[in-house]
Amino acid sequence: MPASALRKHLNATLLVVDDDERARARLRETFETEGHRVVAAQDAPSALRALHKEPPDLILLDVEMSGVDGLALCRLLRAQEATKRLPIVVVSAREDEASKVEAFAAGADDFVGKSAPRGELVSRVSSHLEAAQRERALVGSNRELGFLADLGRGLLVALEPAQVVRRVAGATYEAANAALCAAVLVPPAEDEKGASGGRRSPTRGGRGADDSPAEIAACVFDREGSAEGAGLVEVGRLRAWLASSPAAAELIEGAEKFLVRDAAHAVEYAAPVRFGGRAVGALVVAYDSREACGETESRLVDAAAQQAALAAHISSLYEAARASSVSLAREVERQTAEAVAQRKFTEAIIDSLPLSLYAVDRDYRIVAWNRNRELGGQGVPRGEALGRNIFELLTRQPREVLGREFARAFETGEIDRIEQESAQPDGTTRHWLVSKIPMRADGDVVTHVITVGEDITARVEANRAVARAEKLAAVGRLAAGVVHEINNPLATIAACAEALETRVKEGAFGESKDAEDLREYLALIRSEAFRCKSITNGLLDFSRNRAGQFSPASLAQVINAAARLLRHQRRGGKRVEIKTEVADDLRPVSGDAGALQQAVIILSENAIDATAEGGSVAVRARNEGAAGVRIEVGDTGVGIPPENLAKIFDPFFTTKEIGRGTGLGLAVCYGIVTEHGGTVSVESVVGKGTTFTVTLPALVGETAEGDGKES
């Protein structure tokens, strides 16, 4: 039975984590009735042991458990590479909105109440299993596509059976993560050879007897990755299997049936190499466990066998043409036809690649133009592009720059890779990796240059996000190291302010207007000292990877309080007008009001520093879409150069003079917004100003305390 058909009948493995024995039994009965396999755990430690022993396909998790609760376990699983993509469905007796928000914030994929109908629970679990399966299939398809492209290019220069089996076995061994891999081509019987004029293709180490390695072309990559001849192949069993004319691949279990000699492996996946209606060889891949031979690996092996069949046929044509001068013209014609078919097949593979590809000769005429170039920004059809001068077609890049790139590739013969950015009509920026690849069609002279463009926007943004997260983590560790050194002076400042306030109340400074100002300033000093202490404690919690205590918060209050504080701080300093525009119906958010106020102050202070005397800073807030809130902090300042936009959220990056900034403000702001489930972006025009935009999820249907209006 083919392995792909066998896997379709395997059901999912579910891990149920619940300290209620009756709940576990009920879930086990529900899903075992549906044909799934259920593993139960009563607490987080036993769940982790079960995960280590056998990774499940999905986890059903209760929130309230003794010891480590379900949300903590969910966060732990999301923080680990092996389980961060594992579907997690929270099944809880608490079905209020706050519980659902906490579950999704902890990383759960779904939330189902224990009172939900059985059909709903089964349907949701099935939906997540299918989504996970589709994601795995997509990853496998991308892997298969890259493998086919590499193998196709390698087989273009493989004209002899020994070369074909070596390239196919080596490429499949690496791509399929196999324990062993054998590629074997069996020559036709004597009557078939006489009819076609072919001859035997010897392999190394042959003995010449019947069923000996001398009759077949074989290559085996062993566990060390070194290539061997046919000595590890069970030739008799292989011939018997091919004689049965297998039409599809088979999953072979049992040492008595194995086609490759090895004492350790558990299963073999054998795919026939078929061409012209008959099996001309086999591609056999051995695995140490049945689970290692997944659907992706099966597709890779099947595709490699198809490639090997075409390459083997081409090599047989080459052998026949070389052996018989009488039928040379006919064989050349046939080989040409096969080469055209191979070329078309290769072009189809290249057209299917998610890459932009074209090639030019030494006169800069276009000789190749793949489908992605037709569908690109310029959208020039292949028929209109071929034969034209490249400089007539690509006009967005300066001719002298493009000319230098091609000239360097022709002169040096080395691959040249360049990362480029391009602005899209919608204002977004795309990142490209452009490779100039020299091609030697005849001899050692570079005759063509192939240009391959790959869209690496997702990778660049992911790398930047990872780097930014690492830097923020470093800031957190730094804060944890110095927080007690900051808290002690803050406590002293607060105590001194309280003592002076007491003396003011006792009349030590009289009843003058200055005494009233002193009372106001001392109250501000004390309150800000305590706010700084809460901020440092929040940084300490962040450095320990703890979730903050979120509650419904009014952004209107946060913004107006920040504006009052900024106006107090700016008395006697640079005169910059601070405006606030807050919508009356602004939705509340779930968060830490102190941390959100800190983020608004950071953005506002940066805007003030960038704005000259007489300028203005505007803080606006309004509802965004159906369930979001948008905060904009804009200024009329100097703006940010484009080359600095990608670095402004990096810790310790600053353009201010020495002593005027540490470069931590925007990094901390980014961390605060991210912890609240929001995003922060920036738009800037040099000489005109900058606008930072913060988007946060809103609490729909809830209200925060107070109306938040400026008094």
So what's the pLDDT on residue 633? 93
Domains of the chain: 3-116 (3.40.50.2300), 139-350 (3.30.450.40), 354-453 (3.30.450.20), 456-530 (no CATH), 547-711 (3.30.565.10)
Using CA atoms, how far apart are residues 235 and 464, in angstroms rounded to an integer? 54
Task: Express each pLDDT in 586-602 by its tens digit.
Answer: 999 998 888 898 889 88
So what's the pLDDT on residue 383? 78
Q: Determine contact, residues 56/14, Cβ cutoff 8 Å.
A: yes
Using CA atoms, how far apart are residues 68 and 50, in angstroms rounded to an integer? 16
Using CA atoms, how far apart are residues 174 and 184, in angstroms rounded to an integer? 17
So what's the pLDDT on residue 484? 62
Confidence of residue 195 (pLDDT cuts 50, 70, 90): very low
Confidence of residue 424 (pLDDT cuts 50, 70, 90): low
The DSSP annotation for 118-177 comes to HHHHHHHHHHHHHHHHHHHHHHHHHHHHHHHHHHHHHHTT--SHHHHHHHHHHHHHHHTT
Counting Cβ atoms within 10 Å, is residue 277 exposed (0-12), middle (13-18) or buried (19+)? exposed
Between 290-299, 371-380, 609-618, the lowest mean confidence (pLDDT) is in 371-380
- pLDDT higher than threshold 50 for residue 673: yes
Q: Determine contact, residues 169/301, Cβ cutoff 8 Å.
A: no
Mean pLDDT, residues 466-493: 71
Q: Determine contact, residues 652/523, Cβ cutoff 8 Å.
A: no
Task: Express each pLDDT in 438-478 by its tens digit.
Answer: 988 777 889 999 888 888 888 887 787 777 667 666 766 66
Task: Express each pLDDT in 571-583 by its tens digit.
Answer: 556 778 888 999 9
So what's the pLDDT on residue 540? 60
So what's the pLDDT on residue 3? 36
So what's the pLDDT on residue 59? 92
Using CA atoms, how far apart are residues 217 and 204, in angstroms rounded to an integer? 9
Confidence of residue 8 (pLDDT cuts 50, 70, 90): very low
Phi-psi region of 709 (alpha: psi -120 to 50; beta: other; left: phi over 0): beta
- pLDDT higher than threshold 60 for residue 22: yes
So what's the pLDDT on residue 89? 92
So what's the pLDDT on residue 386? 86
Longest dimension (CA), the chain: 123
So what's the pLDDT on residue 358? 85
Q: Determine contact, residues 373/347, Cβ cutoff 8 Å.
A: no
Mean pLDDT, residues 198-206: 40
Distances from the Cα of 395 to the Cα of 367, 384, 400, 452, angstroms = 18, 16, 11, 17
- pLDDT higher than threshold 50 for residue 10: no
So what's the pLDDT on residue 143? 62
Q: Determine contact, residues 285/297, Cβ cutoff 8 Å.
A: yes
How do beta strands 616-624 and 577-582 pair? parallel
Using CA atoms, how far apart are residues 131 and 558, in angstroms rounded to an integer? 40
- pLDDT higher than threshold 90 for residue 285: yes
So what's the pLDDT on residue 472? 66
Q: Determine contact, residues 398/370, Cβ cutoff 8 Å.
A: no
Using CA atoms, how far apart are residues 549 and 154, in angstroms rounded to an integer? 58
Using CA atoms, how far apart are residues 91 and 189, in angstroms rounded to an integer? 64
* Number of residues that make up the chain: 711
- pLDDT higher than threshold 80 for residue 652: no
- pLDDT higher than threshold 80 for residue 304: yes
Confidence of residue 664 (pLDDT cuts 50, 70, 90): low
Stronger pLDDT, 201 or 75, i.e. the higher one = 75
So what's the pLDDT on residue 267? 92
- pLDDT higher than threshold 60 for residue 191: no
Using CA atoms, how far apart are residues 264 and 255, in angstroms rounded to an integer? 10
- pLDDT higher than threshold 80 for residue 661: no
Report pTM.
0.35
- Three-state DSSP state, 628: strand
- pLDDT higher than threshold 50 for residue 707: no
Between 49-53, 319-323, 360-364, the lowest mean confidence (pLDDT) is in 319-323
Radius of gyration of the chain (CA): 35
∠ at Cα 605 (604, 610), nearest 5°? 100
Percentage of residues in the chain with pLDDT exceeding 70? 82
So what's the pLDDT on residue 197? 43
So what's the pLDDT on residue 691? 92
Task: Express each pLDDT in 82-139 by its tens digit.
Answer: 888 899 999 988 888 888 899 899 899 999 988 889 888 899 899 888 888 887 767 6
State both tokens at 122: 């089964």
Stronger pLDDT, 18 or 376, i.e. the higher one = 18
Stronger pLDDT, 339 or 474, i.e. the higher one = 339
Confidence of residue 270 (pLDDT cuts 50, 70, 90): very high
Amino acid found at 568: H
Compute φ and ψ for 612, nearest 5 degrees.
-80, 170
Tell me the average pLDDT of the chain. Answer: 80
DSSP state letter for 645: G
Confidence of residue 423 (pLDDT cuts 50, 70, 90): low
So what's the pLDDT on residue 64? 86
State both tokens at 68: 């480590």
So what's the pLDDT on residue 199? 43
How do beta strands 267-275 and 278-287 pair? antiparallel
Mean pLDDT, residues 183-204: 55
- pLDDT higher than threshold 80 for residue 375: no
